């Protein structure tokens, strides 16, 4: 006589990164003998402490879940990760670019008075972050959240400014992306109307001698009223 039943098995081995609660295992009994399927057992039973399977990375430092708790699937290309228009995370640290080199900005999360430019203490305004980078010996990139900013920017020699960093990403704050779920997201700069030679300018650059980038922004500029009989274009 053959009887089919479902049992729950649980296994915890100390060297593993995490212990699962077990998986349903189909057991067959035939003439009093038991045969257990070879794929039975907890999902993390082959995991080693502090080690992820190839192609996965543990960014949240929580050793639970599939893939030995390593939640981020990524193809690593090397240690370098230049900021690029396709937002490729080449070094698999969770964002496009090198996370430890970015000076982060978020108008909702930042505080210019207490900021140090890390993801935990971002700047509130882009211009303050630009100046902070410019005053450093190594002019690090300014990485701006996908929010709307009301500023007229003055770019500085050698300081790159990049939009597209999603401060509200639940898995990795400031991961660079063009969508949050199904919603398009972007970094928007709404520049105020100014008169004189800067009329119609959202980001002004002068005395630029080194490579300086201003990328991945949607810029809206308000033009001042033109005097009678004149026209303004921007």
94-120 per-position pLDDT tens digit: 999 998 999 999 999 999 999 999 999
147 within domain boundaries? yes
Which tokens in the block code for residue 4? 């089919």
For residue 191, what are the domain limits?
100-221
As a whole number, mean pLDDT of residues 64-85 equals 91
Alpha-carbon distance of 50 to 48, in angstroms, equals 6
Buried b (16+ CB within 10 A) or exposed e, 132-164: bbeeeeebbbbbbbbbebebbbebbebbbbbbb
Whether residue 208 is predicted with pLDDT greater than 80 in this model: the reply is yes
Regarding pTM above 0.85, the answer is no
70 within domain boundaries? no
Query: Can you give the pLDDT at residue 222?
Result: 82
Total domains, the chain: 1
40 within domain boundaries? no
177 within domain boundaries? yes
Whether residue 225 is predicted with pLDDT greater than 70 in this model: the reply is no
72 within domain boundaries? no
Query: Can you give the pLDDT at residue 120?
Result: 94
Query: Can you give the pLDDT at residue 87?
Result: 94
Which tokens in the block code for residue 12? 């915890």
Which tokens in the block code for residue 199? 């009329």
73 within domain boundaries? no
39 within domain boundaries? no
81 within domain boundaries? no
Q: How confident is the model at residue 6 (pLDDT cuts 50, 70, 90)?
A: very low
Per-residue CA distances from 103 to 78, 155, 162, 222, 230 (Å): 22, 15, 10, 28, 42
The mean pLDDT of the chain is 80
């Amino acid at each position: 006589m053959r009887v089919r039943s479902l049992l729950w098995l649980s296994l915890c081995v100390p060297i593993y990164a995490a212990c699962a609660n077990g998986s349903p295992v189909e057991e067959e009994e035939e003439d009093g003998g038991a045969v257990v399927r070879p794929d039975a057992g907890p999902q993390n039973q082959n995991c080693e402490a502090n080690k992820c399977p190839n192609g996965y990375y543990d960014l949240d430092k929580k050793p639970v879940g599939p893939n030995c708790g390593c939640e981020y699937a990524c193809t690593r290309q090397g240690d370098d990760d230049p900021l690029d228009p396709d937002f490729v995370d080449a070094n698999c640290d969770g964002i496009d670019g090198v996370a430890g080199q970015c000076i982060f900005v978020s108008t909702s999360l930042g505080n210019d008075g207490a900021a140090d430019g890390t993801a935990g203490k971002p700047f509130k305004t882009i211009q303050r972050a630009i100046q902070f980078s410019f005053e450093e010996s190594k002019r690090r990139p300014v990485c701006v959240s996908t929010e709307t900013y009301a500023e007229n920017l003055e770019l500085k020699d050698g300081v790159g400014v990049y939009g597209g960093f999603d401060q509200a990403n639940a898995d990795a704050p400031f991961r660079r992306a063009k969508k949050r779920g199904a919603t398009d997201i972007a970094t928007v700069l709404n520049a105020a109307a100014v008169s004189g030679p800067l009329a119609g300018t959202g980001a002004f650059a002068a005395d630029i001698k080194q490579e300086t980038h201003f990328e991945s922004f949607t810029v809206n500029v308000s033009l001042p009223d033109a005097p009678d009989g004149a026209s303004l274009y921007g």
